[in-house]
């Protein structure tokens, strides 16, 4: 669930931290991506008309492999080298949150089963998407595919987002590529959003720079973490009646949650009972991660025959499609390491030249520029 409302807080209070980056300027960048989150999205989205996932003849789901294969290749075509990070064991503090989600999913499972029985495809589709769960098999399938593709992956001991942040902090990758704002709370210096579908949807990549977030909010990192806890994180409740506006001003005035609890009118804004905000804070400050020095992150040549044997032989993919996909990977991969290594740390944003690609980018940018900037409204979710 990330940090509740953080993206709006940043947009309102630290706009300078946000930068729209043409996808071209991302060429050569290495990025850490939360694998489980990607798989989850594929399992939800990659379906056929009847709401069923794609499967091979044996009935094994293939939606996640399809998504992983093509999205990864698309990133490579743009010169972006992903390293996938898999979740480990969730922290104990998350168990309350997880229990809530489990109960919800059970309800959805029942509703989906009922809809299936009565032949209500619309409702079956709707509810079955809410029953999606990434299993060990899904993860293992994707690890096998990535290995064959020559794309590195890491198994995090705990939260993938925290591991992504460490990789970026250490310089092993340029940024964490995620939609999940708590990657910033875990301390990634740069967060890249809308990375995966920027080309397909003409949505610009947005970079969020942590240093500028802190500058704009006039907070230290510790104050920022406390603010995130007040906004609402996965690890503990927040104070009822304190939303984005009050969270920002309370931290600015009192600097930390301890002082806020002293000064705040506890009749009006009672803190949750047995509120483990200090433990949550500790999870953000010092998360359980593997040290970056111990990790080996290398992109290798894809094993075309291996990929074909797996996807075509075992999973029923179309051979021509798989081979041409791998060819794209091989072509862009060698192109990347040969020519472009030089400009890989310069994020320069420039007006762009005269290529058709550049022109398309500018059009997309202009369109999105007029459609957005609408900062007044209030948005809420659950």
Partner DNA sequence: CCTCTCACTGGAGACGCG
Partner DNA sequence: CCGCGTCC
Partner DNA sequence: ACGTCCAGTGAGAG
Q: Which of residues 352-381 bind DNA (CB under 7 A)?
A: 360, 363, 377-381
The single residue listed with the structure tokens 């998407």 is 129
CA dihedral (2, 217, 381, 198) positive or negative: negative
Q: Contact between 182 and DNA (CB under 7 A)?
A: yes
Q: Which residues pair with 61 in a beta bridge?
A: 55
Q: Contact between 331 and DNA (CB under 7 A)?
A: no
Distance CA 322, CA 66 (A): 10
CA dihedral (132, 179, 242, 282) positive or negative: positive
For DNA, the closer of residues 92 and 343 by Cβ is: 92
For DNA, the closer of residues 18 and 46 by Cβ is: 46
Q: Contact between 252 and DNA (CB under 7 A)?
A: no
**The one among 163, 185, 196, 223 contacting DNA by CB under 7 A:** 196
Task: Tell me the window of 44-52, 149-157, 281-289, 342-350 that interacts with DNA (CB under 7 A).
Answer: 44-52
Task: Identify whether the C-beta of residue 93 lies closer than 8 Å to the C-beta of residue 276.
Answer: yes
Residue 270, token pair as written in the block: 């009672």
Least distance in Å: CB of 23 to DNA? Answer: 13
Task: Tell me the window of 23-31, 175-183, 279-287, 297-305 that interacts with DNA (CB under 7 A).
Answer: 175-183
Q: Contact between 242 and DNA (CB under 7 A)?
A: yes
x/- map, 284-323, DNA, by CB under 7 A: -------------------------------xxxx--xx-
Q: Contact between 163 and DNA (CB under 7 A)?
A: no
Angstrom CA distances, 152 to 130, 270, 324, 364, 378, stand at 30, 47, 21, 32, 40
Task: Identify whether the C-beta of residue 34 lies closer than 8 Å to the C-beta of residue 180.
Answer: yes
| Total residues binding DNA (CB under 7 A) | 75
**φ and ψ of 156, to 5 deg:** -75, 150
For DNA, the closer of residues 25 and 250 by Cβ is: 250
Task: Identify whether the C-beta of residue 109 lies closer than 8 Å to the C-beta of residue 124.
Answer: no
**The one among 133, 263, 285, 340 contacting DNA by CB under 7 A:** 133
């Amino acid at each position: 669930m990330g940090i509740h409302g953080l993206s709006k807080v940043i947009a309102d209070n630290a706009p300078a931290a946000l930068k729209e980056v043409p996808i071209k300027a991302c060429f050569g960048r290495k990025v850490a991506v939360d694998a489980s989150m990607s798989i989850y999205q594929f399992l939800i989205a990659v379906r056929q008309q009847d709401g069923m996932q794609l499967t091979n003849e044996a009935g094994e789901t293939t939606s996640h492999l399809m998504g992983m294969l093509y999205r990864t290749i698309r990133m490579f075509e743009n010169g972006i080298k992903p390293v996938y990070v898999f979740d480990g064991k969730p922290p104990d503090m998350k168990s309350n949150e997880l229990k809530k989600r489990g109960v919800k999913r059970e309800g959805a499972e029942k509703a989906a089963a009922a809809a299936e029985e009565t032949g209500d495809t619309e409702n079956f589709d709707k509810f079955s998407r809410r029953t999606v769960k990434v299993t060990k098999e899904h993860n293992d399938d994707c690890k096998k595919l990535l290995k064959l593709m020559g794309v590195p992956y890491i198994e995090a001991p705990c939260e993938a987002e925290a591991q992504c942040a460490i990789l970026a902090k250490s310089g092993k990758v340029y940024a964490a590529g995620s939609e999940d704002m708590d990657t910033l709370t875990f301390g990634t210096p740069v967060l890249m959003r809308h990375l995966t579908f920027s080309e397909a949807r003409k949505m610009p990549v947005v970079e969020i720079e942590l240093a500028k977030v802190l500058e704009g909010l006039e907070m230290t990192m510790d104050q920022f973490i406390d603010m995130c806890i007040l906004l609402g994180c996965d690890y503990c409740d927040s104070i009822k009646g304190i939303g984005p506006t009050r969270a920002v001003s309370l931290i600015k005035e009192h600097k930390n949650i301890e002082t806020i609890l002293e000064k705040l009118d506890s009749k009006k804004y009672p803190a949750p009972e047995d509120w483990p905000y200090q433990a949550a804070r500790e999870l953000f400050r010092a998360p359980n991660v593997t040290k970056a020095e111990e990790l080996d992150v290398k992109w290798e040549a894809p094993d075309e025959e291996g990929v074909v044997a797996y996807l075509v032989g075992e999973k029923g993919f179309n051979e021509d499609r798989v081979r041409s996909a791998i060819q794209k990977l091989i072509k862009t991969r060698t192109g990347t390491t040969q020519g472009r290594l030089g400009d890989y740390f310069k994020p320069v944003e420039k007006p762009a030249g005269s290529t058709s690609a550049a022109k398309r980018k500018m059009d997309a940018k202009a369109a999105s520029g007029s459609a957005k900037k609408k900062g007044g409204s209030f948005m809420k979710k659950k």
